Structure 1
Amino acid sequence: MSTRSLTFLVVTFIAFNPSNAKQAQPFSDILKKINEWGGEAQSQILISGPMVVAGVLCFIASAISSAGGIGGGGLFIPILSIVAGLDMQTASSLSAFMVTGGSIANVMCSICIACPKLGGKSLIDYDIALSSEPCMLLGVSLGVICNLVFPDWFITVLFALFLAWCTSKTCRSGLQFWKNESEEIRRNGLEQLEKGQLVENDGPNSIEVPLLVPQENTKLRIPWFKLAVLLLIWFSFFSVYLLRGNTYTEGIISLEPCGVGYWILSSAQVPLAMVFTTWIVFSKERIRDLTLIPEVSSLTRNKFVFPLMALIAGILGGLFGIGGGMLISPLLLQVGITPEVTAATCSFMVLFSTTMSALQFMMLGMEHVQVALILAIMCFVASLLGLLVVQRAIRKYGRASIIVFSISIVMCISNVLMTSFGAIKVWTDYESGQYMGFKLPC
């Protein structure tokens, strides 16, 4: 991306920044801010040794996380906080941009590849995304409020317990998928042996069985209407943030932070989520079971299973300060969604939620925007490399369970890092005599 393109993006974001509501700034001041980006503060962040080490670790974390479509926020935040020494707010804002960059790479690959097994559809299940996205965005808002109310020690304990449970379930799912794939490979090998289609290998008793049968080219079908509805949902929720602002800055409408009008406008997200979810679930194009394992597809007969899972994942994601992809991915695997579709659909949903977070940080007038864009591009490249390696491994060995194991690895490392970081912060607050109980949201 050229310097001129970056400048155009920055001017656009600053021009729509609600933090300028109290006092309008002339355009010359905006250009002055852009010219100051190469100043001393951001240069120190870019060239510092710890930041370079953190960038390399985040590159590796993004490549690993991209396979499971879970963003990697659970790795980025502790790496930036522990290795680079950044405060939690700065680490969270940079993480939002990094997850956005990785999600864009995942979605680009998933949306452009037709899956012959699904009749030419992409790996993204738009029906699941449609029914889940309104509740996920609502859940993130509720989770952020819970994050302000709950003490840090309580959040740390909840995170450790829930992510440990999710990691255990995901590992079991991965082992089950591996067992099913081994059985399928063995069965296909016996069928080809009966047909005399096997080729003798070097050994006298060795045979070579193709793990993946080539599929004929299938024309990709993109559901433009569903994409338009998803964008409508996103803009509807974003409009609430744009009008309301937050506890740090005013929105388009001048409201007292945490006042009556503030909470009335915030509560508008509840009917928004209910209306969108009800309309989508009961529309003519119902949620299909094309991507479900036949043996367990009966678990999703309730049309509100996916919205409920998305609401829970959104609340926990907002509470823990990480993307909802890491939390909804194990839930989708538990109801029988195949690993490939789970990874693609989760990355697609994460893109909507993480862009919302990134723009909210922009509305807060975050510093180091240039650094955030550079890290986002870095994660974009890392995700492409990670996807390339994983897809080649799947084609070579015929085991999509590799995706599930990559999710397990990321979740396990995230649990250790986030729990350790949270425990250190809690102990520091305790020693300094800070209040350790529940708080008001404002």
Structure 2
Amino acid sequence: MKNQSLLRWVSLALAIFIILVQSHAATQTQPILDNLTIESFINRTLQWRRSSTHHPLKSHGNLKLSTSSVVAGVLSFVAASISSAGGVGGGGLFIPILTIVGSLDLKTATSFSAFMVTGGSIANVMYNLQAKSSKFGGKTLIDYDIALLSEPCMLLGVSVGVVCNLVLPEWLITIMFAIFLVWSTIKTCRNGVMFWKMESDRNLGARNGYENLETGKSGEVKSVEEPLVSMEGKETPRFPWKKLVILIMVWFSFLIIYLIRGNRYGQGVIPLKPCGIGYWSLSLFQIPLAIAFTAWILRRQEPIACRGPNNRGVNKLIFPLMALMAGGLGGLFGIGGAMLISPLLLQLGVAPEITAATCSFLVFFSSTMSAFQYLLLGMDHIGTALIFSVICFAASLLGLVVVQKAIKQFGRASLIVFSVGTVMALSVILMTSFGALDVWDDYSSGNYMGFKLPC
């Protein structure tokens, strides 16, 4: 009987399909969707984007207050509050908001984004420096060891990525960005689901009395939580001033090179021929500088043991290599490296709280360097950029407070992971869509779409 009923439904479906095909053939000469074809839709979208991004900046120091700027500020506030929870800069959201809603050109939006990410990262660092976690023995959430091992190679990777961005064609960058960020989003969401299940099992065990317990001398029972990250030689929760000084020294070393070298248009502190021998010599000097800093830090570094789901130790060389890849991809795609290094740290088994705090700490150094470069090389509309950075500062503080309260109340650190996944997914949709539109615009206009010289 079941087979007969299934045959009836299949026959009915085939009959309906044949009728639809015949009716379509009879009216084939008439347009189905009039002029709303895919090509016309793309062309209209491109026309709207060109018209929206060519509004002049009408004042010398600031942008005029308008509805679009207010809406852009509100959306930036929401984006910063979401990004701050995951410790990522949020540049993948700020740039589309400023270009689409704020009607800014890409160059101005990029400079604004550097200030906005800086404002959010300052809020993150201020919060995480004073925050102590009882789960991790009263230490701060920032892992200075991982930051030390990552910063030199991350800054080097950003420079390499920027050069690759100039050489590679737009269509290849868009495809690489979409593939890598989709992969990172899937990995991050999987890690979030894994942490969520672990937290559910732990909370269920705590309610049923099956959680790991330790009995004290007086007979009382206290719970013991195994952190996902432990660092040997860190029993005393003192502030690591020496490590902070080294991080600042690395930052200043790369900043001096950037300022002396300038950009490929010859804009720098000293007159230097654009893309000449001096330019490339200073650029290549970053390689031995990063290697020297990393080797010195590896020699003096304390052992790092990351215990994740597999309970395996992690080789210290993984962190500089991971930072080099994240910085290179961040410079190539024009986004912060934290959005790329965060899923890699989670994959290694680093706890979500430490991942978010450490990534925001790294973002602070990279974003402040970008902001200083824009300032010293003659950035326009500094006042408006500072207003947007203050907005992101307040939004980041609000987002951090809300998420930390939710973690304490529900015991769900996986909320941080899902926050990172949300930012990544939105960045994939926005930046990939408009990158594809730019590629289509170049193709339809007959522009050159091959590999280019860096100068």
TM-score norm. by structure 2 comes to 0.80
CA RMSD of aligned residues (A): 2.2
- Is the contact between residue 243 and residue 251 of structure 1 (CA under 8 Å) also seen in structure 2? yes
Q: 1:105 aligns with which of 123, 141, 146?
A: 123
Q: Which amino acid aligns with 1:257?
A: P
Q: Which amino acid aligns with 2:370?
A: S
Q: Which amino acid aligns with 1:167?
A: T
Partners of 1:46 and 1:113 in 2: CA distance: 39
Residue 40 (structure 1) aligns with: 59
The Cα shift of 1:323 comes to 0.4
Partners of 1:335 and 1:266 in 2: CA distance: 32
Residue 286 (structure 1) aligns with: 302
Partners of 2:383 and 2:389 in 1: CA distance: 10
The Cα shift of 1:402 comes to 0.4
Q: 2:333 aligns with which of 305, 313, 320?
A: 320
Partners of 1:375 and 1:105 in 2: CA distance: 14
Q: Which amino acid aligns with 1:303?
A: K
Aligned length: 382
The Cα shift of 1:176 comes to 0.3
Residue 343 (structure 2) aligns with: 330
Partners of 1:315 and 1:159 in 2: CA distance: 12
Percent of aligned pairs with the same amino acid: 59
Decide which structure has the larger Cα Rg and report it.
2
- Is the contact between residue 46 and residue 371 of structure 1 (CA under 8 Å) also seen in structure 2? no
The Cα shift of 1:297 comes to 4.6
- Is the contact between residue 211 and residue 398 of structure 1 (CA under 8 Å) also seen in structure 2? no
Q: Which amino acid aligns with 1:286?
A: E
Partners of 1:432 and 1:85 in 2: CA distance: 23
- Is the contact between residue 205 and residue 211 of structure 2 (CA under 8 Å) also seen in structure 1? no
Partners of 1:397 and 1:113 in 2: CA distance: 19
The Cα shift of 1:50 comes to 1.3
Question: How far does the alpha carbon of each residue in 1:135-165 deviate from its partner, in whole angstroms, 9 at most, with x for none?
Answer: 0000000000001001111111111100000
The Cα shift of 1:253 comes to 3.7
1:124 partner SS: coil
Residue 362 (structure 1) aligns with: 375
- After TM superposition, the structure 1 stretch with the greater mean CA deviation from structure 2, 103-112 or 184-193, is 184-193
- Is the contact between residue 58 and residue 64 of structure 2 (CA under 8 Å) also seen in structure 1? no
Mark the CA change 1:41 to 1:432 in structure 2 (over 3 Å): closer, same or farther. Answer: farther
The Cα shift of 1:82 comes to 1.2
Q: Which amino acid aligns with 1:288?
A: I
Residue 14 (structure 1) aligns with: none
Are 2:237 and 1:224 aligned?
A: no
Residue 191 (structure 2) aligns with: 173
Residue 452 (structure 2) aligns with: 439
Q: Which amino acid aligns with 2:123?
A: A
Matches within 5 A, 1:67-146: 67-146=85-164
The Cα shift of 1:194 comes to 12
Partners of 1:129 and 1:265 in 2: CA distance: 25
The Cα shift of 1:432 comes to 2.3
Partners of 1:391 and 1:194 in 2: CA distance: 24
Partners of 1:384 and 1:59 in 2: CA distance: 11
Q: Which amino acid aligns with 2:272?
A: L
Partners of 1:295 and 1:320 in 2: CA distance: 31
Q: 2:353 aligns with which of 340, 346, 351?
A: 340
Question: How far does the alpha carbon of each residue in 1:76-103 deviate from its partner, in whole angstroms, 9 at most, with x for none?
Answer: 0111111122111111100000000000
Matches within 5 A, 1:240-255: 240-255=257-272
Residue 277 (structure 1) aligns with: 294
Partners of 2:211 and 2:261 in 1: CA distance: 67
Are 2:210 and 1:186 aligned?
A: no
Mark the CA change 1:190 to 1:377 in structure 2 (over 3 Å): closer, same or farther. Answer: same
